[in-house]
Amino acid sequence: METPRPLILISNDDSINAPGVHHLADCVRSMGDVYVVAPAHPHSGQSAAMTVGAPLRINEYPCDKEGVRMFTVDGTPVDCVKLALHAIVPRRPDIVLAGINHGSNSGVNVTYSGTMGAVLEGCIEGIPSVGFSLLHHSLKADFKFSTAFVAKIVADVLASGLPDGVCLNVNIPARVMPEGIRVCRATRGKWVDGYKRYLDPQGIPFYWLTGKFVNFEPEAEDTDEYWLRRRYITIVPVKSDQSATDMIKPLADRFDTD
Amino acid sequence: METPRPLILISNDDSINAPGVHHLADCVRSMGDVYVVAPAHPHSGQSAAMTVGAPLRINEYPCDKEGVRMFTVDGTPVDCVKLALHAIVPRRPDIVLAGINHGSNSGVNVTYSGTMGAVLEGCIEGIPSVGFSLLHHSLKADFKFSTAFVAKIVADVLASGLPDGVCLNVNIPARVMPEGIRVCRATRGKWVDGYKRYLDPQGIPFYWLTGKFVNFEPEAEDTDEYWLRRRYITIVPVKSDQSATDMIKPLADRFDTD
């Protein structure tokens, strides 16, 4: 019996209409059978949100790429991966990919990222999973410099897998041929100046999210932001289990009771 | 000059109308000035999702508890914490609390939990942050056995803080006086049998999330599920930075290039 080609499941958070997800399919379709299952509408900043109190629909999306089928789900990136595994793909995927996101998911952004929500879902399912993000927000972003690097990373993960419970968060510098690749940790930082305040026509205030990212450790050579500024692609290994196991003993001394 | 009373910011994901958040305010209002800023509508399963492409409103919610003010935000738990810090609280909170959630956030649920989304937002802001969940989904859940434990944990964290970058995920057994408290890690597991399929009146399928949690390690004595089944309150320390730092070296050997 012939071994089936690898099955590659792709999702994103910018929706099926974002060029990044089509580019990602093009980068990898020579390596296996590709299923793209993406949100019908944009879901940036949706983290690992899932739809618990409403129905979901699946629709096939027209696609003329050989070896690629595309579908939309009217939910979040996590919904896409969950429903793809349940009702769309013909066998268990060999890899789950998400992206290519239009915009950075470096540093603390991994917490809010819908791209990484989809990747964490694949990881929780025990499937090697990788998210890709380009540091360019525009829907007109140019992905051409990313192609060979994305293909190389996906081929490596298809061949060698990933450590149990660990997925990858790949960020790609914009508008340049990358200098290389660095595996590193997420830089520590946060978003500041959070909201712009407006008055509606009745004089009642409303607020719109804004702000800028502040890097608390710009000179730390083991962080993603450090290497992205030097035009490297960064790979941050991300754990699906967030338990701070090194803190259990000291906190048990404070809190354990019988 | 008098030292101000501690400022306690509370959010949740079940909405301002859920009894759990009112009970949490009652548990702690003797310890400080309490601001409850909760979603106007339920947001279970919303993880650390935030509203990026739409306006948000703040409305004060009627409250006759002394020392407590309540507000709604028409967004997610993360939106509530972000907007509370930006536009509602009169000074930086000494602690961020979320819950008490109507339902468990043990094991892998931390990834999807809107309760823990609010807690992670407090943690990213550098504020000691604790989420509370009762293992009872009903809006009629009885929180009475939790009161003294919740007060004790909050008093301890107000007095002694938490390690940098670490927040707490507290789960409380339902319908019993807890035997005690155990600090532990999240059990490994996942949700299976994900969706129920229906046909709409036109015969077109739609899907609704369901499923049951499978614990991969039911006998592991260092996990939350193990102790919850033995009627203990569990405290899992959770890291806001998900970087798998122990995997950087082995993965760098595979992926680093210049």
Q: State how far residue B207 is from chain A, nearest Cα, in angstroms.
A: 5
CA separation, residue A48 to residues A91, A98, A157, B243 (Å): 23, 13, 23, 16
Pairing between β-strand B68-73 and β-strand B95-102 as defined by DSSP bridges: unpaired
The three state secondary structure string of chain B is CCCCCCEEEEECCCCCCCHHHHHHHHHHHHHCEEEEEEECCCCCCCCCCCCCCCCECEEEECCCCCCEEEEEECCCHHHHHHHHHHHHCCCCCCEEEEEEEECCCCCCHHHHCHHHHHHHHHHHCCCCEEEEEECCCCCCCCCHHHHHHHHHHHHHHHHHCCCCCEEEEEEECCCCCCCCEEECECCCEEEECCEEEEECCCCCEEEEECCEEEECCCCCCCEHHHHHHCCCEEEEEEECCCECHHHHHHHHHHHCEC
> Residue B238: which of A79, A166, A242 has the nearest Cβ?
A242
**Token pair recorded at residue A63:** 């696609």
- Where are the strands (E) in chain A, listed by range? 7-11, 33-39, 58-61, 68-73, 95-102, 129-134, 166-172, 181-183, 189-192, 195-199, 205-209, 212-215, 233-239
Residue B161 in contact with residue B155, Cβ under 8 Å? no
Torsion sign across C-alpha atoms B106, B107, B109, B113: positive
Q: State how far residue A217 is from chain B, nearest Cα, in angstroms.
A: 14
CA dihedral angle for residue A68, residue A69, residue A75, residue A76, rounded to 10 degrees:
-20
Q: What confidence tens digit (pLDDT) does each residue in A54-92 have?
A: 999 999 999 999 999 999 999 999 999 999 999 999 999
Q: Is the pLDDT of residue A188 over 80?
A: yes
Nearest to A43 by CA among B209, B51, B39, B110: B51
Q: What residues have CB less than 8 Å from B227, skipping those under 6 apart?
A: B182, B184, B234
Q: Is the pLDDT of residue B2 over 90?
A: no
Q: Give Cα B165 distance to the centre of its chain.
A: 16
The pLDDT value given to residue B150: 98
Structural domain includes residue B196: no
Structural domain includes residue B204: no
Q: Show which of residues 196-255 on chain A sit within 8 Å of chain B, judged by CB atoms.
A: 197-198, 204-209, 222, 235-245, 247-248, 250-252, 254-255
Residue A235: strand pairing partners = A170, A183
How many angstroms separate the CA atoms of B157 and B61, rounded? 27
Residue A145 in contact with residue A108, Cβ under 8 Å? no
Q: What is the mean pLDDT of residues A26-44?
A: 96
The whole domain housing B43 covers 7-187+217-255
Q: Taking CA A46 as the corner, what is the angle to CA A41 and CA A49, rounded to the nearest 5 degrees?
A: 105
**Token pair recorded at residue A49:** 């949100």
Q: What confidence tens digit (pLDDT) does each residue in A112-138 have?
A: 999 999 999 999 999 999 999 999 989
Structural domain includes residue B205: no
Q: What residues have CB less than 8 Å from B175, skipping those under 6 apart?
A: B136, B142, B145
Contact A86 B241 (CB under 8 A): no
Contact A47 B124 (CB under 8 A): no
**Token pair recorded at residue A114:** 């819908």
Residue A244 in contact with residue B129, Cβ under 8 Å? no
Residue B154 in contact with residue B28, Cβ under 8 Å? yes
CB atoms within 10 A of CB B59: 12
The residue in chain B having the minimum alpha-carbon distance to the alpha carbon of residue A57 is B206
Nearest to A85 by CA among B47, B200, B187, B191: B191
Structural domain includes residue A42: yes
> Residue B248: which of A49, A185, A188 has the nearest Cβ?
A185
Contact A239 B243 (CB under 8 A): yes
At residue A61, the 3 state secondary structure works out as strand
Q: What is the mean pLDDT of residues A170-197?
A: 94
Complex confidence, ipTM: 0.95
How many angstroms separate the CA atoms of A161 and A35, rounded? 19
Q: What residues have CB less than 8 Å from A150, skipping those under 6 apart?
A: A24, A27, A28, A100, A132, A170, A172
Structural domain includes residue A211: no
Q: What is the mean pLDDT of residues B210-218?
A: 92
Structural domain includes residue B192: no
Q: What confidence tens digit (pLDDT) does each residue in A198-218 have?
A: 999 999 999 999 988 999 999
Q: What is the mean pLDDT of residues B29-36?
A: 97
At which residue do the structure tokens 């919904």 appear? Answer: A79
Contact A256 B183 (CB under 8 A): yes
Structural domain includes residue B80: yes
The pLDDT value given to residue B211: 86
Please count the structural domains in chain A.
1
Q: What confidence tens digit (pLDDT) does each residue in B170-182 have?
A: 999 999 999 999 9
Nearest to B167 by CA among A46, A166, A242, A250: A242
Structural domain includes residue A198: no
Q: How many angstroms separate the first and last alpha carbons of chain B?
A: 59
Q: What residues have CB less than 8 Å from B201, skipping those under 6 apart?
A: none
The pLDDT value given to residue A229: 97
Q: Give Cα A207 distance to the centre of its chain.
A: 27
Picking from A105, A224, A243, A249 by the largest number of B CB atoms within 10 A of its own CB, the best residue to mutate is A243
Residue A11 in contact with residue A43, Cβ under 8 Å? no
The pLDDT value given to residue B1: 60
Torsion sign across C-alpha atoms B247, B248, B253, B256: positive
The residue in chain B having the minimum alpha-carbon distance to the alpha carbon of residue A125 is B190
Contact A55 B179 (CB under 8 A): no
Q: Is the pLDDT of residue A1 over 70?
A: no
Mean pLDDT over the full length of chain A: 96
How many angstroms separate the CA atoms of B107 and B187, rounded? 5
CATH number at residue A238: 3.40.1210.10
At which residue do the structure tokens 């989420």 appear? Answer: B131
